[in-house]
Amino acid sequence: MTAFAAPIAAQIWDMKYRFKQADGTPIDRDVTDTWRRIAKALAVVEKDPAAWEEKFYDALSDFKYLPAGRITAGAGTARSVTLFNCFVMGTVPDNMGGIFDMLKEAALTMQQGGGIGYDFSTIRPKGAAVHGVAADASGPLSFMDVWDAMCRTIMSAGSRRGAMMATMRCDHPDVGDFITAKSDAARLRMFNMSVLITDPFMEAVKADGPWDLVFDGKTYRTVQARELWDAIMQSTYDYAEPGVIFIDRINQMNNLNYCETIAATNPCGEQPLPPYGACLLGSINMARLVSDPFGDGAALDVDAMADLVATAVRMMDNVVDTSRFPLAAQAQEAAAKRRIGLGVTGLADALLMVGLRYGSEEAARQTDQWMHAIARAAYLASVDLAREKGAFPLFDADKYLASGAMQNMDSDVCDAIRQYGIRNALLTSIAPTGTISLYAGNVSSGIEPVFAYAYTRKVLQKDGSRTEEEVVDYAVQMWRDLKGDAPLPDYFVNAQTLAPLDHVRMQAAAQKWIDSSISKTINCPADISFDDFKEVYMAAWDQGCKGCTTYRPNDVTGSVLSVSEDVTPSERPDQMRDGDNGSEVIYMSEPLDRPNELEGATYKIKWPESEHAIYITINDLVIAGHRRPFEVFINSKNMEHFAWTVALTRMISAVFRRGGDVSFVVEELKAVFDPRGGAWMQGKYVPSILAAIGGVIEKHMVAIGFLAGEGMGLKSDPQADVVAMNGKPRGKACPSCGSYDLRMVEGCMTCGSCGHSKCG
């Protein structure tokens, strides 16, 4: 017997959450050990740790309460990592020293495993005067490039790349450049980006009025608000970014609007946070709380959910006291406000179990009622904690109860808060739950609809072989277990078939009772008209959402996983052209064989202060008339270079021979900085000899048509023919497990096979 509902769940646990020694030897023997480890670690601050450990263990068992990955992987391990998922960093000063102080803080935070958000609106626009040095400012986008390079070099908590969110106000003079920055497929790849939309701007859009772009009290130019809005919409339509954040609404509805101002969010957008704000996340698994699923008496057990919510709130409050923090300012901010972000997962599955069609008006009403019950239970639990342990230090009853979010709360809850205080300033948030949803048996993630009823997954085994298995949605598997081969009812819908405005309806229904925000992706069909696409965002604004993120498959961003009701293998468009130069890149799924003869070119690098030159030979393979780099040889008479040039030769050649998109080699090499200093070469500053080699490889790739031009790496750019060895079309492989199963989940490309995501 196993606690896991599906093989994928056990694999996710073993890969991401199982506590192991440094050599890989398991410490957690099974998932019950993981639950026990977490429960014990979070109960240690209680007056009666043993009693609360059992209560916490019961909440975790059977995957009813799902702490976010940071807590599940780190609690009770004594590892030097933060248990908080996300941070917004300090306000970026408009001076060089302050900017790079912030860069250092970002690196330290990501090193311990935190995703971060930044508002770059505080940096003066490009071309503005820099007093005292007789120069013009390079603008916020140039400094975002620096952050992006830093993020590529930091392995977040030793296991994944860091994730970042960049925001910019809609009235910043450089907002136009910000909007179109991600149209360059090689730029700002480590950022999610969102425009901070104000209420006056939306009023000007609706009135088709003028809009001033201002910095530090100076108006740089005036544009038509509707034209700027359309520019945001066009970029999002074409490139899936930027998102929009309704920042005035966020601040108006913030429980703490009397003591903080928010200008940024965490990478996935569900946590608007003040400078140095931090938040931990966790989710109630609603799919585990439905009694008599698909039966005549199917219903969600609201009493059991309220009890589970109360336990979860207590566990999350204890994390504030047990977690490490990368920076002292983050610890102080967390202690002063004790913010938590309790959300849900499995909502769509729960709706299916009680016979409701996700996106319908009835499902929205039910979602409203369930979210109300969760909010009520969470706030009352936090009041009880305040009676026992004290309110959060910055609590002010009159100001707190006058905040926007409290206007919807039940009067008896408000009365209790006024009498006893509240332990946690904010309590609810709906986060991306892609990985923990797989871990819990492939329940629907967050408040998203079911993505796919079933799909075929390739599993990489320890011996290097691959096996295939079917991964089935939790509710669909339950239907099969109960009903056998009976066809799925017509109220079963998925993300591929749902109308965009149905997505908005569900997001708005949940937002009413969420005091932070919601991470949700609104899937739009590729052929949606631009006017209908814009209507999605206007509907989100009109219905009270705090932000909006869409995903529309297109020639730039590619296509998400294509699915059907029965078996849903990964399918991709078999023709995706590089629109810039007409060149085609062949993506291969198996290692390439070396013919006896290859064509290539040799390049010479003379690094300053080096006695001998370095010679780089790059040979190409021709497939279907198209050239792609196949191997590299790096030679030098300087024996100081011998070991690393041989190693680099072998590693790069091995990568090239795997096929697929190998342009990331250029990106990674060019990002290497030598602490001893770089050199000026052909009028450009090159930060290291390795960066110089990367530049040579890039030059060669451009020459053979593999890249469109300098800086046009295709690391995540699918503008190419997608060709597998068996002739079936495929997309880009997952960088973690190699499977062809990437999909857009809550604004981030996420692997359906292993759960890998840039956003964690």
Active-site residue list: 266, 268, 270
- Give CA–CA dist 38/34, Å, rounded: 6
Tokens standing for 377? 């239970």
Residue 127: how many CB atoms within 10 A of its CB? 12
For helices 530-542 and 225-239, angle between their N-to-C axes, nearest 10 degrees: 110
Q: For residues 238 and 183, is the Cβ–Cβ distance under 8 A?
A: yes
Q: What residues form DSSP beta bridges with 743?
A: 750
Tokens standing for 475? 């509710």
Q: For residues 271 and 441, is the Cβ–Cβ distance under 8 A?
A: no
What residues have CB less than 8 Å from 535, skipping those under 6 apart?
A: 501
Q: For residues 41 and 75, is the Cβ–Cβ distance under 8 A?
A: yes
- Can you point out the beta strands (E) in 28-161? 65-67, 86-88, 115-119, 129-130, 135-136, 155-156, 160-161
Q: What residues form DSSP beta bridges with 344?
A: 284
- Give CA–CA dist 154/233, Å, rounded: 32
Tokens standing for 706? 């593999």
Taking the CA atoms of residue 415, residue 420, residue 425 and residue 431 in that order, the dihedral angle to the nearest 10 degrees is -70
Residue 428 is given by DSSP the state B
* Location of structure tokens 């009365």: 415
- E strand or H helix that includes residue 433: none
- Give CA–CA dist 135/650, Å, rounded: 45
* Location of structure tokens 């935070």: 109
Q: For residues 56 and 42, is the Cβ–Cβ distance under 8 A?
A: yes
The amino acid at residue 95 is N
Q: For residues 310 and 373, is the Cβ–Cβ distance under 8 A?
A: no
